[in-house]
């Protein structure tokens, strides 16, 4: 079964956040790999470099992997590496290679008539989940209101985005000031006081904070009983995270982005930087790379908890491997999956049940390419 055609499109996908009237849009890279037998595999994700990734796949990767065996994702990745990244040019390359790998596993599952999570090991049929909802653009009271809505639906594990700066239109990235860090601490205390002690809370700085800011914030919110502090410092520097880990009682989590190779995870473990590993299949090399990351974490007795959005992809890894953990349902990535595909499983009272249909277990909606940006 040979790879006959590989295409990538940039889609502009509409979705909504709770309490926000305006329709939100996100640019998503959508990849389709087709074999000479007519089987099609798919993958999707959003990245800051989405235009470059689609162009790279269409102009470079497509010809590199044409005619290769679609059932041999390791061979395909090796070809992509040797021909297009032998000097370790990661960035666009690693994102593109990850999406191609995911699409090949979708094909493999369809060819073998098995869902991907079973092919990865089939450790469990359902996974615990948490909801990432805490946008900086919410006021303190709105943060509590949305949290209470989710808790009423049975979702009692919640994550808040922090350290994004004062720009209310920015929901993830920024350059926080020291005053922004103080406001983050106040918001988390307000949220904890508003929902009580029972719900589980996490926080994610998305690699935005400087080390002194991260230490200060951690100290300020330790009384709030945070389950983890994710991607706490600039560039997720292993040495800086190790310093932070020694300075706080809050567990440190990292690996959801920037881990384009398992060597990054290795440095986290060797430097004793983290308590929780978060390999994300959209960055680390698809499911092939995800398996490597999970095995490496298991060798160090490190728990996996995904922190990288796009739950409908990462749930397969966490259901497949023995050290899989909670799957992140980010309000954005969750809704994008539902907008683009039929058959994606919803989170129900803190759990997601894996699909039994082959491959990813869901299929592109009719007219999906109508969302393509020309």
Residues 325 and 239 in one domain: yes
pLDDT digits (tens, 9 = 90+) for 319-353: 999 999 999 999 988 999 999 999 999 999 999 99
Q: What is the pLDDT of residue 174?
A: 64
SS (H, E, C) 179-243: HHHHHHHHHHHHHHHHHCCCCEEEEECCCCCCHHHHHHHHHHHHHHCEEEEECCCHHHCHHHHHH
Residues 95 and 174 in one domain: no
Give me the number of domains the chain comprises: 2
Helix 238-247, helix 211-221: angle, nearest 10: 30
3-state secondary structure of 311: helix
User: Taking the CA atoms of the chain, what radius of gyration do you get in angstroms?
Assistant: 20
Residues 91 and 176 in one domain: no
Residues 15 and 94 in one domain: yes
For the residues of 105-162, what is the DSSP string, one character each?
A: HHHHHHHHT-BHHHHTT---SEEEEEEEEE-TTS-HHHHHHHHHHHHHTT--EEEEE-
CB 132 within 8 A of CB 204: yes
Residues 86 and 209 in one domain: no
Tokens 């490190």 correspond to: 302
Q: How far is CA 204 from CA 59, 101, 177, in A?
A: 35, 27, 16
SS (H, E, C) 157-186: EEEEECCCCCCCCCCCCCCCCHHHHHHHHH
Residues 90 and 152 in one domain: no
Residues 122 and 110 in one domain: no
Residues 73 and 127 in one domain: no
Token reading at 72: 């041999």
Residues 103 and 177 in one domain: no
- Would the pTM of this model clear 0.85, i.e. be above it? yes
Residues 130 and 276 in one domain: yes
Q: Which domain holds residue 96?
A: 3-114+364-371
Mean pLDDT of successive 10-residue stretches along the chain, which has 374 residues: 98 94 94 98 90 95 97 96 78 92 98 98 98 90 97 96 63 75 95 98 93 97 97 91 98 83 89 95 93 96 87 97 96 93 97 98 97 93
Length of the chain in terms of residues written: 374
DSSP state of 372: B
Q: What is the pLDDT of residue 150?
A: 97
Report the C-alpha gap between 91 and 241 in whole angstroms: 22
Q: What is the pLDDT of residue 206?
A: 87
Residues 236 and 273 in one domain: yes
Token reading at 238: 């292993």
CB 371 within 8 A of CB 177: no
Residues 126 and 75 in one domain: no
Where residue 9 sits, what CATH number does that domain have? 3.30.390.10
pLDDT digits (tens, 9 = 90+) for 259-283: 667 888 999 999 999 999 999 999 8
């Amino acid at each position: 079964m040979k790879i006959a055609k590989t295409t990538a499109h940039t889609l502009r996908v509409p979705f909504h956040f709770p309490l926000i009237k305006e329709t939100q849009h996100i640019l998503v890279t959508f990849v389709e790999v087709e074999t000479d037998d007519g089987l099609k595999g798919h993958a999707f994700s959003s990245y800051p470099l989405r235009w470059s990734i689609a162009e790279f796949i269409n102009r470079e990767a497509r010809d590199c992997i044409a005619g290769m065996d679609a059932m041999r994702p390791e061979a395909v990745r090796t070809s992509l590496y040797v021909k297009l990244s032998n000097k370790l040019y990661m960035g666009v390359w690693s994102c593109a290679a990850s999406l191609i790998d995911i699409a090949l596993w979708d094909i493999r599952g369809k060819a073998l008539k098995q869902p991907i999570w079973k092919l990865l090991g089939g450790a469990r049929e359902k996974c615990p989940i948490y909801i990432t909802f805490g946008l900086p653009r919410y006021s303190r009271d709105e943060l509590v209101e949305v949290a209470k809505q989710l808790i009423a639906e049975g979702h009692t594990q919640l994550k808040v985005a922090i350290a994004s700066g004062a720009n209310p239109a920015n929901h993830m990235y920024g350059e926080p000031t020291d005053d922004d860090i103080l406001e983050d601490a106040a918001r988390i205390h307000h949220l904890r006081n508003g929902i009580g002690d029972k719900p589980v809370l996490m926080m994610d700085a998305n690699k935005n904070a400087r080390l002194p800011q991260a230490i200060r914030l951690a100290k300020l919110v330790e009384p709030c009983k945070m389950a983890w502090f994710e991607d706490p410092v600039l560039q997720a520097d292993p040495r800086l995270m190790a310093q932070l880990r020694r300075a706080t009682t809050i567990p440190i989590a990292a690996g959801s982005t920037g881990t384009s190779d398992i060597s990054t995870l290795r440095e986290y473990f060797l430097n004793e930087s983290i308590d929780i590993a978060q390999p994300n299949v959209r960055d680390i090399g698809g499911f092939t790379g995800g398996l490597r990351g999970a095995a490496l974490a298991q060798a160090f007795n490190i728990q996996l908890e995904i922190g990288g959005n796009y739950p409908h992809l990462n749930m397969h890894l966490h259901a497949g491997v023995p050290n899989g953990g909670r799957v992140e349902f980010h309000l954005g990535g969750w809704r994008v999956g539902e907008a683009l595909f039929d058959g994606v499983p919803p989170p129900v009272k803190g759990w997601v049940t894996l699909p039994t249909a082959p491959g990813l277990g869901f299929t592109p909606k009719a007219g999906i390419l109508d969302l393509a940006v020309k």
